[in-house]
Each structure stands twice: as structure tokens, then as C-alpha cells.
Structure 1
Amino acid sequence: MPDRDNCFKLLLPQAETPIVVYQNGRATSGMQRLDQVAVLPGSFNPLHAGHRRLKAVAEEKLGRQVVFELSIANAEKPSLNVADVRQRLRQFHDDSIAVTQAPLFQQKASLFPGCCFVVGFDTARRVLDPRFYDNDVLKLRDCLQLFRESGHSFLVAGRVNHRGDFCGVEELSVPNEFQAMFVGIAATDFREDVSSTRLRREHGEAADG
């Protein structure tokens, strides 16, 4: 059914087409070479300048296209409804964004073979959190081993904590044998202190006022 509000036909991922890529407002069933892109996952609620800057820095550092990825399903929150998806996609114009049903990185890895995931510090910490592997450290290590064997890696952007200290990849609890998979972006190359949560709060306060 045409999405009249956004002037494009809204297609959602299905079993036969697990990735739907939107480019310039047009939905396609996928990209030509998924193994030659890097993927920047997020909820993009909202998309802000920090996301775009991180994409640009990652493309320069990696020498490959970075594609945003939005998962309709979420590991910790309710799934997005059609209105949510429309609202999120409305923010993207010239940028490519892949829509999936893959909330966990082991699921994303099967969709994007051998890619580098571009993530923030908090997301990288969740990748290494046993909570997302049934609280089983062995399952976590097995998953990291599969990531390594399939050529996946993580480019990690740091952030400033509540004390004003910059938290980079060095502060992550990465098992020694997997440390090469996690590469940090120096604070001199990228530092973004604005969060989507703060932007939502400020927008709400402005609207209420």
C-alpha cells in the first residue's frame, strides 16, 4: 500500500526478503554487495547530526560505504509499529537505510556477511553483555568466535560519561583473544555528546512549553 505521507511505498522485511533497503525514498529488496558495506545500527529516535558525523568518519576510516540499519524488533523494547517505521524513515533522504527484523547482533551478522558494525560505546558494551546470551558467558564467547570466523568486526565510537570522562574501546570488557575485533575511534576524530534520549526530552519540553 502506498505510503502517501512519505511519498514512497512502505515495504517491511519478510522471511523471503529479510532486508529492505531504502535509497532516495525508494525501497529495494537489498543491496548489490552487502559484504562490501559497513553497518551503523540504531533506533534513530531521532536521527541527529552525531549519527551523520559518525557515518562520515567511519566511511573515511574504513574506506567503504556505511549503511544505517533500523531493526523493527528490539531486544529490550516493544517492536516498532508501522507508524513508528514511517516516522523513522521520514528522517532519511540521501542516506541508505536497511530495515530488518534483527534485534541481536548475531542475527544482524547473518544478514550482513563479513561487515564491520559501526557502534557507539554503549552498544558495544551490550554486544559483550552476557544478558543478551541467556546470561551464559560460554554462549557469548561462542558468538564472538563466530563473528571472528565470519570476518565481522566492530568500530567503536566513545562517549563522555556522567563524570565528564571519555569512555573508549579500552574501557570495554573484551576477552583478550577477541580484542582485535573491536577498534576504537579516537576522541580527536569523533566525539559527540548529544544523545537521542536528551534530544527527545528537550523536544518534549519545548512542545509542552
Structure 2
Amino acid sequence: MIDLEETFNESSIDDKSSSANEIGIEIENQNNNSNSCNRPNRRKRVYWSVEIIFNNYNEAVKSIEKKWIHQKTHSTKNGIKEYYKCSINSKCPARMHLQCIDENQNVTMLRNQEDHDHGFISSSKRLRKEIKDKIIQLIDIKVTAPLNIFHTLRKEGFKILPDHKQISNFLSRHRKLKNGPSTINYKQFKDWYNIRSKKSDQKISEFSQNRLIAQKNSIA
């Protein structure tokens, strides 16, 4: 008699249960990873410390003039906070805010824990006068490569330096001022050609006269 009932041994059951457990663990890990990826990045916490207390708002604004640039204003239940960034370089990590309390005329300046860091690259498109004067001095001694000029400026202690493009543009403008424009119009070309032709004709005439004189002297 043939037994049609399926038989299972314990090892096969253990294998299936263990594989199911592994699959469950893998799915759980994938869910955790996806949740961590979808989790928004936490903002870096900023710690503020009191820098100085001004007698009034006008005194505070006058003190920070040309040093800080206003970014935003935030209202609070006690007053307002005005946030500022460095005016020299927008990438400088230094930040500051003024805290104005409604019940008091005093204005408190608070700074974050970052020091000013202006790096070596200037955020302004215009070169400072001392930079221009130094570049002209380097041109006079035949230092005209923008990269060499950049490293020379940095070596001599200039902190806010122009980039490669700014130096190249200044060199181009300086050459135009010194040597004139690199292109000429038709009238300028015609005048140049006429002057050059006259000089050439004069040289030919002088050469012919000298040749005739030499021939006469040889015959005599």
C-alpha cells in the first residue's frame, strides 16, 4: 500500500523557519534604513553669548555700521531679534544678532561661537587700491602670470585676495591703458600706411641718390 501522506523531517522545518526569520530581519533593517534616509537633517545648534550691551538702538546700529549686514528680523514675545552676517565675506561663519526688548531701551548684541574667517578670496568684484598698486609693481619687474601674482600677494600678507579671473582682467585693462587698444579702425590703418609709405619712399630715394653719387665717383 502506497502512503500518500506527505512526511516532513525536523531539519526541513528548521531550515524553513530560519530562512523566514532571516527574511524578516532583512525587511526590518530595510525599513529602518529607509526611515533614517527620510528623516530630515537636524539643524546645527547655535550657541549665542553676550558681546556688548548698548544704551539704545541708534548706538547699536552706529557701532555695527559697515561691519555687519542685516539678514532677517524675528519677532518674539519679549521684543525683536535682528540677525546679521559678516559684511566682508558672505561665507564667513561669524554671525551676530541684536536683541531689542520692548520694556527696555537697552539693546544687547549676541555673537555665535564662530570667529571671523575671510579666507584668501575676495567677495568683491573690485580690487582694492593697495592690491592694484602691488600688481603694477609686479608687472614692472616682469611678473605677469596671474597665478604667480596671486601667490606673491598671499606671501606678502594680503588677506583678501582677488581670484584668477580678477587678476587676468586687471592685467588686460592695464595693457590697454599702457599700450593702447589692440584693434584700429580703417582711418587709423590708412594714416599708419601713408606714414609708413612715405618713410619707405624716402629711404628708396636716399638709396637711389647715394647709388648715383657712388657711380659718378667711380667713373671720375
Give the TM-score of the pair, scaled to structure 1.
Answer: 0.22
Of Structure 1 and Structure 2, the greater helix share is in 2
Greater strand share, structure number: 1
- TM superposition score normalised by structure 2: 0.21
Higher RCO (C-alpha under 8 Å, 6+ residues apart): 1
